[in-house]
């Protein structure tokens, strides 16, 4: 009898260990480290106050007096929003819940850009959430361009440690003269330090904030191997908790807003992330950054020797 009990206990332990391994392979077993909630420092604004419709108006649905918005991709169109102002530096954040199910080729982008004003010399800071086919798991890609440096992609990709389709999660960009920080649920997942190696391609001109959903079939999954399947449409992403604060001038198409902000001239708001506390990551934030990069990052352009025979200068400076 004792032998039988020991055998049952052993089988249970084996089954439990196997389950842990399976959960670990999906990343769910990892508990994120505790970090300060920077998103609690800034006010939240209704979407109609901070942003306007960029395209696909019938697929933009405001809810709860504009504190929530759904942006939708279907057979007719994608959809998107653009900030009412352009910003030089700042803190930009939204909580997003992604569409569930078979989302191959669907791209949800939360990003900053000035390509509309500087088409040949634009800057860009990107969150791109990429729908996936086989694993039905969303992938998070970050990227950055400065001064038209689009020939050098600076992509990094991570698997998220949660299911982004079940509830809202915060995606945040900090951009100042010291560094660019990408954060998810206030945990830094990437930092681009503004040093000499990266200075020529560091975003330097005022940008708008965008939130878009669109068909990325041509490139988003293994070079377009798994296109969007519209049998599963519509694909609706929900956004809330918009935070959009920075040094801004309304309706400007000039890079001079940057110097105006730095000189504290006639601007609608001062740079909210220019202080010493935003110049570098805290020890707690560094723990979070290292946790993400060691456990969840699976691609970095700085390690892609097949793509770059000579690595970009900032890779060698790390």
- Contact call for residues 172 and 189 (beta carbons, < 8 A): no
- Contact call for residues 127 and 109 (beta carbons, < 8 A): yes
Q: Which phi and psi (to 5°) does residue 159 adopt?
A: -90, 135
- Contact call for residues 250 and 80 (beta carbons, < 8 A): no
Mark whether 191 is an active-site residue.
Answer: no
Q: How far is CA 224 from CA 84, 99, 168, 215, in A?
A: 33, 20, 28, 11
100: which DSSP letter? P
- Contact call for residues 157 and 141 (beta carbons, < 8 A): yes
**Catalytic member of 124, 156, 191, 314:** 124
Calpha distance 260→256 (Å, rounded): 6
Calpha distance 69→65 (Å, rounded): 10
Calpha distance 220→206 (Å, rounded): 27
Strand order across the 208-215 sheet: 51-55, 79-83, 208-215, 106-113, 124-130, 139-145, 156-159, 297-300
- Contact call for residues 183 and 278 (beta carbons, < 8 A): no
Strand order across the 235-249 sheet: 60-63, 68-73, 235-249, 86-97, 169-175, 179-184, 187-193
- Contact call for residues 84 and 103 (beta carbons, < 8 A): no
Q: Is-cis flag, bond preceding 234, omega within 30?
A: yes
- Contact call for residues 160 and 142 (beta carbons, < 8 A): no
**Catalytic member of 128, 156, 191, 243:** 128
Mark whether 128 is an active-site residue.
Answer: yes
Catalytic machinery residues? 124, 128
């Amino acid at each position: 009898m004792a032998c039988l009990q020991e055998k049952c206990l052993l089988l249970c332990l084996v089954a439990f260990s196997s389950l842990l391994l399976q959960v670990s392979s999906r990343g769910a077993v990892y508990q994120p480290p505790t970090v300060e909630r920077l998103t609690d420092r800034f006010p939240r604004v209704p979407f109609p106050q901070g942003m306007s419709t960029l395209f696909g108006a019938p697929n933009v649905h405001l809810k709860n007096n504009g504190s929530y918005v759904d942006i939708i991709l279907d057979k007719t169109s994608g959809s998107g929003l653009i900030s009412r102002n352009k910003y030089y530096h700042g803190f930009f954040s939204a909580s997003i819940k992604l569409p569930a199910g078979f989302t191959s080729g669907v791209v949800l982008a939360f990003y900053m850009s000035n390509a509309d004003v500087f088409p040949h010399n634009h800057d860009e800071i990107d969150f791109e959430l990429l729908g996936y086919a086989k694993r039905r798991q969303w992938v998070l890609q970050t990227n950055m361009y400065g001064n038209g440096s689009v020939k050098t992609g600076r992509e990094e990709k991570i698997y998220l440690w949660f299911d982004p389709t079940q509830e809202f999660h915060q995606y945040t960009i900090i951009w100042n003269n010291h560094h660019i920080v990408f954060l998810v649920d206030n945990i830094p997942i990437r930092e681009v330090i503004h040093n000499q190696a990266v200075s020529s391609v560091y975003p330097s001109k005022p940008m708008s904030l965008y939130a878009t959903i669109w068909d990325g079939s041509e490139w988003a999954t293994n070079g377009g191997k798994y296109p969007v399947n519209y049998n599963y449409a519509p694909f609706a992403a929900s956004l809330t908790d918009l935070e959009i604060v920075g040094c801004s001038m309304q309706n400007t198409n000039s890079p001079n807003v940057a110097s105006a902000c730095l000189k504290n001239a006639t601007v609608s708001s001062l740079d909210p992330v220019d202080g010493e506390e935003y110049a570098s990551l805290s020890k707690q934030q560094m723990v979070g950054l290292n946790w993400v990069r060691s456990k969840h990052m699976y691609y970095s352009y700085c390690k892609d020797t097949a793509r770059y025979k000579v690595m970009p200068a900032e890779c060698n400076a790390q």
